[in-house]
Each structure stands twice: as structure tokens, then as C-alpha cells.
Structure 1
Amino acid sequence: MRSTYGQLWREVAAAVGDRVAVTSGERALTYRELEREAARLAGLFRAHGIGRGDTVAIYAYNCPEYLSALFAALTLGAAPAPLNFRSRAGELAGLLAEVQATALVYPRSLADAVTAAADRTEVPELRLRLEVDDDAGARPAVPGAVPFDAPAEEHRPEIPDDGRLLLCTGGTTGRPKAVVWSVADLFEAQQYATYGTLGLPVPGTLEAAIGVASDAGTPHVVVMPLAPFMHGTALFNSMNVLSLGGTVVVLASPRLDAEAAIRLARDQLATRWIIAGDAVARPLLEAVEADAADAGPVLPHLDSVISSGMRLSDDVKARLHALGDVTISDFLASTEGGPYAVAVSGSADDLPARLRLFPGAVVLDAAHQEVQDMPGAVGVLGFRGALPQGYLGDPGRTAETFPVIGGRRHVVPGDYVQVLGEGYVELLGRGSAVVNSGGEKIYPAEVEEALLSHPEVTDAVVLGLPDRRWGEAVTAVVALRAGSAVTAGDLTAHVGRRLAGYKKPKRVVLREQIERSPTGKVDLRALRAQLTSEPG
């Protein structure tokens, strides 16, 4: 089926208008109300000269207004561009320049960064700054900003089929890049995630898709994205649930309040969580386990957890399964495309869950020959299904990451895996992060896995640092449980009992915690610079 989200959502709203589409606990929007708010915003955008081909940047934490603004931009054929809400003024200015923003949606609590960023010379002229009043105390509105709820004539244009969506990379090794998705291609790429995960056939027409959403027999998915909407997994899965006529439960907060999240999930009968690995799952589990009672499960309606973006450990998966009859789908994907593989577990008995390649995923050797059917082979992951158009304004990098192989366009972001056979692979790490020590290639993910198998380790990052003798020295930054007496030497010995000697960290740095972005990423460039300046 070839369509766009805006067109389908408009039709779903007409079919199931009284059903709740988005709720944050305090504010709920039915499908009819969501569609009307999007139409009002589309009229507001049009009144300020924003339309087809423009970029609407969304610099906000998760909130209902986020999805309304997204819907409005898609309606107009403007490109929505989610931005990292933790970016400071200088970083925000770079992001606005990267996506060529002409409009910006943001909460008043982030007004200082918006004001400072807008004054920088590299930022394009913003025709509209749309400000959400998020009860930021006595903070005044930004001069010239337009209130998010400003009245405007509702506008429902014919929705173009060539709309785009811009998704920025994590920027862990430099300035983030904007990946350009055709909305129609993204819609096609997400059809398995939308329908297949529920055991439903993919509808062949727009009319059939509307029928699925309005059918009383379709499972009512109540999704709770606990990773930020700027994270593709959280955003795309929420968009997919709106296509099904389901409900998106939004924890409207700039940071994860685990106790509030559990209360909201319980009150709204959430059936699905979207998370980003252990960084999100661990505090949620601690809140659940603290609230657990012998009378029954805390979250009886939760039946699925979807994770992507960072490692979800087997220990955490086992604790998630202990919540009830929960299926965990741990995806290996990237901003540039995929998914490449998924590890699915239906209970703790399925652990450790192995990554299985998706249809369309391949493993390529150095000559770009496919080796996914050769057990023991090591290669980089590729994907040849529905793909983004490339990086905005960067044809050179686009050609490098999206090569044409055997006459077919692929995406090859650089993740190394080892082929296990029967469609299974083991993740070794991103090529740019592979450590070359004494001529041996060491994959950080493998060493991190060994470290995380220690019961006192809560997080770990492995990278290579310059070394006169070895070229690069394997270096581990490790977070331990509070009060742990484990030493760096203990951890090195622990790795040595599991891996070859040359893979053992030559340096272990102990920290209370490892700073990660809302998507679970570590700024490796900043960490490498910090560690290089510190005494060994």
C-alpha cells in the first residue's frame, strides 16, 4: 500500500472520531480533536508563509502538541524535523542550520536556548516561532513568538505524496546529520511494524487500512513512548499506532520520571512500551519493583516492549518478563534505515535472545559480497528495502552510506556482525569504533558484553585511545552499583576469563554513571577527548 500518514490519519479521524488518540493524563485528544488541531495549526503555518517544501523543526520533549505539530506539517507537505531538546544554544543553532528550518515549535521552558540560537548568523530566518506554554512559572513568552494555541482558520489542503521527514543522527562522533525520509517510503517501510507485529495482514489499499483501524476486532494498542520522539523508534512506533486507531500515552516531561511513568501506564492501561535499552528500562523496573504487591502484577495490561538504540541486557529482559506475559522485541536499527535484525523473547526461558536478520538485511564482506549464509563470517550489515533518500545537502556522504550494490541501493551504516547461521548474527560494533590494538581488531560491543555480565556493573562503554606501543589501547569506562567494592583489576580479570587476552581493557575507568543522551547514545568524541586529557 502506498500512502502517507497525513492522509490516513485524516481518514481514521473521520472513521473513529470519538476514540482517544493522544493522552498525557491531564490532556486527552480524540481523533476528531487531533485532526482539528492539526488543521488549525496548518492554517497558522500557512498564515506565516510555511508550506510545502519548508521545514518545521520541533525542539521539544514528548508532549501531545508534538504530535499535533507533526500532523500539521505532514498535512501541508512541510518536513517535520525532530531535534534533540537537550541541545544548548550553540548546538541548537547548528541543528536549525542543518535542517534548514523555517519554523520552530518549542516549549516556553526552552525559550532561553531558542532566543540565543536564533541570534546566531548560521541560523536561517525563522518565519514562525510557535511556543507551547508548558507552565514554566513566571517566564515570559519570547518576543515575537506565536502561542501554540493561537486561533487560525482550519486548513485542509490536498496532502502531497512527495512530503519529507527529517531525522537527525545521534551525532556521537561529530555534528549530527539530517537523514531525509520520503513520507511515502517511510509509511511503506513501517507497514510490518504497524500490522505484522499484531499478526495482521498488510492492507493493500487506503480504504482497507481505514477498515483495519475502525474494525472492533483490531487489537487496541495503547503505546507509551518512554524514549524521546526525536528517537526514530519512539516517533515511528507512535505514528504507526495512530494509523491503527490506537492510543498514544505521552509522559509530558523533559526527563524520565519513572514513578510517574508507572502511574500513567497503569492509569491509561498501556499495552506497549517503547524504550531505549537499559538506560530507560532500569529506572522503570526499579519503580515497578518498588511498587509490586503480592496481590498481582503492577502492569497487568502490558504485553509488549520494543527497544532500539542501545543495548537491552538479558538481566533487564528477564526482569521485564517477570512483569507478566510480555513479548520483548529488541531491534538493531539506525537512523539511516533498517531494521536490520531483531531479538525476540516471549519469556525468560528464551534468553539469551539472539539477533535474527530481517528480510532485506544482508551481511557484506570487504568486497561487498553477501556472506549472511556463511557461518563464522564477519562483515558489515546492510539493508536493501525501503530506504531514506540520503543525508540532506551531503551527496558525498550519501553515496558512501547508501551504495548501489549489484544494481540495488543499500544502506550500510558500518555495523559489524558475525554470522551465526540460520539467519542469526552477533553484533560486534560500529566500524568507526572498532579498536585496532597491536594489529588485532577488537569490537567494543563484545568487550562491553563481557563487562556487563559482571553482577556489579550497571553500564559500560569501550573505546580505543592512542597508545605508543599498541597503536590503540582498549579502554573501558564502567559504572558500578552503588557501594560496590569491585576494582578495575577485578573487571579486567573478569573480561579475561571470557575473552582472549588481547581483548582485555588496558585501562578501566570507574564512574558513578555514564552520561548518555535521551536516545541512549554516548558522545564518544567528547569522552575520548576527556579520557585522553586525564592521566592513565
Structure 2
Amino acid sequence: MMSPGIFAAVAAAAGRATDPALITGDRSWSRDELLAVAAELSEALLRRHAGGAVVVETRDPVATVLLTLAADRAGLPLLHRDPATGARPAGPGAAVRPGADESPYLGSVRVADGPEAASGLPADAQVFFTSGSTGVPTAVVRSSAAVLADARRVADFLGYRPDAAVVCVAPTFHAYGFNYGLLGPLVSGAPVRLLPSRCLPSACAAAVRAVDARTLIALPAHYGLLAQGAGRQGTVAQDLARLNAAVSAGAALPPAVRQREGGMAELPLYNCYGSSEAGAMTLTRVEPGQEAGDLGEPLPGVRVRLTEGELQVQSSSLALGRFGPGTGGRLVPVAGPDGWYRTGDLARRSVTSPDRLLLYGRAAAVINVAGEKVSPAEVEQVIARHPGVLDVSVAAEADEMRGEVPVARVVLRPGAVLSGLVDWCRAELAPQQMPRTFEPVDRIPRSATGKALRKPPQDDR
């Protein structure tokens, strides 16, 4: 019952089907092995679900790959859930329990239930959940064609091929790690070495060396740790020396990485701007002295426009819709009637290079200070340049006289003095941008992809 989707695309990938395709800590899988196991799993899923949507909750990327291929082959919508935040089954019998003669990978799957069981999901749907950095996570529904278009766009740009291995440290239950660290390599024939998202810098660098990788897919926090590790151990920088691209996405890069501290000056670092709804929109090399918020130029096949400062996009990677809080269990399209998706991000074109986009904040996050509009992202960019700052998050706080004012949470380097940062900001920021308070904290809570959490994660049931 093969559909012309993800299963077929992996089966048709370049390279020899018997060569290593997926490498984990304890074993290597060829493409033939992956497809054979996935075919068996698809039959088991059909026997159990016969048309209903299923949820995969696992941190095991092998299970993610096998169940994605199986669900696509069986024509079943698949929801990718972070096992730390996924909604639990509501009633008895909701969870799948593998029988004695069935694959243990079925233990990572359950029936979509309650608010997850949205109406109108297409049979080839791949559903990812937003980070929930501003509240309850929302489900983003993508067709297999959109997912494949996104994976191939990134793979083509980064040069994935059978003789150029990829190392992925990003969690694969999010669209970034799944598309660029799993699916992109699989459909282009590039072998991929998978690591847990929590791993030591030395282990990440050693994996790059071991498979002679040309691309590293990781999160901003990973690069922060690598910068520290490279400063203490010259071997970390040496292990990364043969990379053609070290890709980051999900949040802003730590100041130490942008400033290329700790022996990371030669790292070919790329920042990916994208979203679960639109996929990758830009991939740009991070260079010293870049303008703040520089996103680079749109990727081939991605069209952009600015409407009243908001960045809007059209591409073959657009999601079909969303469901979640406020949608009544219905699938709500992400694109407007004109086919354009409103990202909610504020951007402008570079004066020196009009094809390049400069991001300066979220429309919904703009702080109204006595009628003056202040972007938290722009304030964060200035604070992050201070040599004593390791991390920063700026948000709005109610103010009786001015309506709203910015406030800042900062993680300082050992020995840094808060008064020095305050003086720096007074010299660098406009009066309306100046945070009313600077709260020193040990860490800033972040989502699995690195976004600062404005509200604590909640269960969405």
C-alpha cells in the first residue's frame, strides 16, 4: 500500500541501498534494512489503527525514522510529540502495546486522542508541534510533499550526498532536527550519525571526526558548549575542521559563538531562519561584523515580501494548517486566501544589499512604551554584545505611566558586574529601549529548540 511520499522518496535515494544510512551509538542501519523494518511496522499499524492518526513519542531517532516511514507507507497521519511535554492518553486502550511477536518500536506509538484527534487530517500528514515558548504548543500539519520539498531544499543548499556524512544533535521530534538532520540525509543518500541532544562537546566533535562529516545539524546551545570545549581542548576545534557547514536554528546564537571565542573562529557557521509552518526560508553564513538580525537571502524557491514591516512567505514547503487551542479541533490554514503565510516576524531589507533581510523582532512581542514601539529582539542584540553577558531575554512588563516597559533577564559571566552592563546599555540604547530592570539569573529557561520561555510549558489537554 505504498504512497508516493516519504517511504518512496527514501527508497529512491541516491547511493547504494546496502551502505550505512543511519548510524547510532550501537549500530548502523542500511537503507534496505530501514525500509524492510518499516514495511513490517506499516502492516502492524494498519492492523491496529485502520485509518486513525497515531502519535509517536520518543527520543530515539531510529524509532522516529522507522515509524515515519511506516506511517507514510500505511497512509496514516503521524504526530511527532516531545515525550517530555506530550499529552497523555485519556482512556484505557489508547496506548499501543506491542504483542510478544511484534516490534518493540510499536511501544513508542499511541492513538491520537482528545485535542490531538483533529478532523480533516490528510492521510500523508506529518504533524509537528511548535515550541510553546509563549504558551501552549500548537500542532502544525504538513503534507509529505511539503516535508520533502523542505528537506530537499536544505539538502541541495548544503550539498548532502552519499560521500558527505551528516551529524545530527538536534532533537528529531521537532521539524528542524527531523527535516534537516534525518529526512534530508535519507532522501539524498547521505549517511547520518545521530547523537542525543544532550551530549558532551567532545562527544559531538568526536562523532564528526569518526564519520568524517561535512555537515553538523545542532542547536545554539550546542555551539555554545562547543565554543567552551574548543577553548579548553584544541582537539575539539581540530575535529570540526573538515566541516563545510555547521548549521544552527531555533533561537539566537550565544554571544560567545557569534564572537568566535574559544578556538571557533574557523567554524563554517550557518544560521537557518525558518519555522514549523514554512520550513527553511534562509540559510546564511555567520560572519564577523554582520548587521544585527541578518537573515541573508531567501533560499531558492522561497518567495518573500514585506507588508507593513511583517515578513510574509510563499513556497512549496508551506504547512497545510494548524490545530490546537482556539481552533475547535479543526484544521485552520496557515496561508491566507492569496497564498502568502504571515510569519509574524518584523523585518526590513538591508540598505547595502536589498536582497538580504534583517530581522528585528516579533510583531506580537513589540513593547509599546508610551506610544514608542520597542522590539525585544533588538534590545537583546545590543545587550548580548556586552562582553560580560552569556545569555539574555527581554520581555514587556506593565507600567502605570507608560503602559509597558522592557525588562531584562541576564546571565553574566563570572566576575562581570551588573552596574557595568547598565552603563553600557544607557550609552547604546534609546531611552524607550532601556530596560527598567536587569535581573541577574543563573540560567534562562529555554525550549527544546532553544527559544526563551516567556511562560512555563503547559499540558494542552
Measure, in 1, the Cα distance between the counterparts of 2:444 and 2:290.
29
- CA gap of 1:70–1:444, structure 2 versus 1, over 3 A, is same
1:82 pairs with 2:39: no
Match of 1:453 in 2: 385
Q: In the TM superposition, what whole-angstrom CA distance separates every residue of 1:496-516 from its partner, at most 9, and x where no partner exists? A: 222211101001110111111
Q: Give matches, 1:156-235, under 5 Å.
A: 163-198=124-159, 218=161, 220-235=163-178
* RMSD (CA atoms): 3.2
2:234 match: 292
**Structure 1 residues 399 and 439, CA gap change in structure 2 (3 angstroms):** farther
Q: Is the 8 Å Cα contact of residues 314 and 351 (structure 1) preserved in structure 2?
A: no
For the residue of structure 1 that corresponds to 2:455, the secondary structure is helix
After superposition, what is the alpha-carbon deviation per residue over 1:41-64, rounded to whole angstroms, capped at 9, x for unaligned? 2122223x2344x33322222432
The Cα offsets for residues 283-342 of structure 1, whole Å up to 9 and x where unpaired, read as 122233333159x82234322111111012564145389558643321221111143434
Q: In structure 1, how many angstroms separate the alpha carbons of the residues matched to 2:262 and 2:190? A: 24
Is residue 462 from structure 1 mapped to residue 394 from structure 2 by the alignment?
yes
Q: 1:84/1:313 Cα in 2 relative to 1: closer, same or farther (>3 Å)?
A: same
Within 2, Cα distance between the matches of 1:502 and 1:430? Answer: 17
Gaps of 5+ in 2: 108-121
* Contact 1:418 1:425 (C-alpha < 8 Å) held by counterparts: yes
What SS does structure 1 have at the residue aligned with 2:439?
strand
The 1-side partners of 2:277 and 2:258 are apart by 26
SS in 2 for 1:412: strand
For residues 222 and 330 of structure 2, the distance between their equivalents in structure 1, rounded to whole angstroms, comes to 32
1:3 Cα shift? 5.5
C-alpha distance 353-342 of structure 1, shift in aligned 2 (>3 A): farther
Contact 1:460–1:478 (CA<8 Å) still a contact in 2?
yes
Structure 1: distance between partners of 2:445 and 2:456: 11
TM-score, normalised by the number of residues in structure 2: 0.84
Q: Secondary structure at the match of 2:429?
A: coil
1:509 matched residue in structure 2: 439
Equivalent residue runs for 1:132-151 within 5 Å: 147-148=104-105
Cα distance in 2 for partners of 1:385, 1:511 equals 40
Letter in 1 for 2:169: L
Partner of 1:7: 8
Q: Which residue of 2 aligns with 1:43?
A: 43
Aligned position for 2:114: none
Identity of aligned residues (%): 23
2: CA distance, partners of 1:494 / 1:82: 44
Amino acid at match of 2:374: I
CA displacement at 1:24 relative to structure 2: 1.2
Aligned counterparts of 2:319 and 2:149: Cα–Cα separation in 1: 11
How far did 1:240 drift?
A: 1.1
**C-alpha distance in 1 between matches for 2:293 and 2:374:** 23
- Is 1:330 paired with 2:328? no
Local SS of the residue matching 1:524:
coil
Q: Verify the 8 A CA contact 2:61 2:172 in the aligned structure 1.
A: no
1:109 matched residue in structure 2: none
Stretches of structure 1 that go unaligned for 5 or more consecutive residues are 94-116, 132-142, 151-160, 201-217, 366-378, 528-536
Question: Per the alignment, do residues 292 and 334 of structure 1 end up closer, same or farther by CA in structure 2, a change over 3 Å counting?
Answer: same
SS at match of 1:517: coil
Tell me the SS of whatever aligns to 2:380.
Answer: helix
Matches within 5 A, 1:381-400: 381-386=311-316, 387-392=318-323, 394=327
* 1:127 CA displacement: 5.5
Query: Does the C-alpha gap of structure 1 residues 494 and 130 become closer, same or farther in structure 2, counting only changes over 3 Å?
Result: farther
> Hey, what's the Cα distance between the residues in 2 that align with 1:328 and 1:28?
28
Does the Cα contact within 8 Å between 2:406 and 2:433 map onto a contact in 1? yes
CA-CA distance at 1:480 after TM superposition: 1.1
Distance 1:302 1:263 in 2: 12
- What does residue 484 of structure 1 align with? 415
CA distance in 2, matches of 1:344, 1:166: 29
Matched, 1:417 2:347: yes
Could you tell which deviates more after superposition, 427-436 or 347-356? 347-356
TM-score if structure 1 supplies the norm length? 0.73
